[in-house]
Amino acid sequence: MNMTTRITQGYPVLIIGAGRGGFALLEMFIEDKLVEVVAIADPNSDAPGIKLAQSRGIPTYTDASLALQACKKYPDCIVYNLTHDEAITAEVVKVFGSNKRVASGLEVNLFWQMVTNLKQIKGELEKSQSQLQAIIHNAMDGIITISEVGNILGFNPAAEQIFGYAQQDVLGKNLNMLMPEPFRSEHDGYLNHYKQTGEAKILGVCGREVVAVRKSGEQFPMELSASEMVLGGQRYFVGIVRDITERKQAEQKIAHLAHYDYLTDLPNRAFFLDCLNHSISLAKRNNYKAAVLFLDLDGFKQVNDTLGHEGGDLLLREVSKRLRGLIRDSDTVARVGGDEFIFVLNSLGSDENAALTANKIIAALSEPFDIKGQQCRVGGSIGISMFPDDAKDCETLIKQADDAMYLAKQSGKNTHRFYREKLPTPSGE
């Protein structure tokens, strides 16, 4: 084969021997811009190195002498003899006038082993890198890498899904674009403070809850685990992020169920006690009165027996809506039993104000309810206890209001009574 004159882009190299060693050496040199393989020779035209060279447009020879003669055009050419034929060295001396241009024998074997080891290491590194990239790409948590100055360098698909940005939209931009104010304005200052002092508020903290912002502008709760790493003398930060919106909603729902009645969504007894304690504290501080009203529905059992439990539940819901609309935002109404409700009225100037509210409740309950297409009527008996006149603790006030409610029941129902009132003595006694 004739080889035309070429201008090499790297140091000219001739490989003699295109078996496994020649193939590995050629493969390595192809990727090295400092080296240009100007030819490869092997008596076997089907040798793997010959095939690879032909696929890359590199001249090939089946006669080593012809390859050496052709390479004479490159005075600085180095010959790698991967055969066991020492006659090649003599041929190199004849062509180039020196044996310094040829590497053969043990020298080449050592070089071949080094190349093989490097290829193996490179393959293992590439495999590890591929596995790492696959893990990052398929991770369910968002993984964000940022530079020392806070610019985004990595943004995996999970992060894209969480924030609504495509990777190309955020790369090179400051991480603070994912933060709402005031954290957005404070972020760069935090990084600078950390670099100067080493004091970290977030780094090294696992599962810290923060607020983030999506591309749409929606803010959401996020769990963040942030760490620092140094590669090649450069500092980087890695954040593992998780959208915890559903978890926070579930926690709120559980907390709500713990404090509110499942049927009417009014506060339950436990939550009412907290509210009453708070009301008593405010009344003491501001020298106000507070009232506890205990309501038991009149005629509820008859409705429940007529319409069934489902109808009874619907009635309780409708009653709760009316009761909620009768009191101020500062007051509280709770369901504490089947058809029993309890109120705390805050900042009262006199007992009359409590009586007015009780009358409003009784009047509102007297209006008919439409339950499953049927009109239903109930009434209400209400007992009232006053803080601080009747008692100064929650449990006593509630018991007194309950006792007063029974006074109202015995007084003919659909009315109210204060705890201090007494039942009239029957005539003749």
What is the domain-level CATH number for residue 43?
A: 3.40.50.720
Residue 123: inside a domain, yes or no?
Answer: no
Q: Which pLDDT belongs to residue 3? A: 44
Q: Where are the alpha helices (DSSP H) in 229-268?
A: 245-259
175 in the same domain as 307: no
d(C-alpha 384, C-alpha 106), whole Å = 107
**Number of structural domains, the chain?**
3
Confirm whether 153 is domain-assigned.
yes
| pTM metric for this prediction | 0.58
Q: Answer yes or no: do 106 and 230 share one domain.
A: no
Give residue 383's Cα distance to chain centre: 51
Sign of CA dihedral 89, 91, 97, 102: negative
Domain boundary among 55, 86, 117: 117
Question: What does DSSP assign to residue 178?
Answer: G
- If asked whether residues 337 and 400 sit together in one domain, one would say yes
Residue type, 101: R
Identify whether the C-beta of residue 49 lies closer than 8 Å to the C-beta of residue 19: yes
Q: What is the pLDDT of residue 8?
A: 52
Question: pLDDT tens digits, the chain, 429 residues: what are they?
Answer: 444 444 456 788 888 888 888 888 888 888 878 888 999 999 999 999 999 999 999 999 999 888 888 888 887 888 888 887 778 877 887 887 776 667 765 556 666 666 666 667 676 776 776 676 766 677 788 889 999 888 999 999 999 999 999 999 999 999 999 998 888 887 777 777 777 776 666 676 677 889 999 999 999 999 988 888 887 788 888 888 999 999 999 999 998 989 999 999 999 999 999 999 999 999 999 999 999 999 999 999 888 888 888 999 999 999 999 999 999 999 999 999 889 999 999 988 889 999 999 999 999 999 999 988 889 999 999 999 999 999 999 999 999 999 999 999 998 899 999 998 864 555 443
Question: The CATH number of the domain where 288 resides is what?
Answer: 3.30.70.270
148 and 238 inside one domain? yes
| Spatial separation of the C-alpha atoms in residues 111 and 21, rounded to whole Å | 9
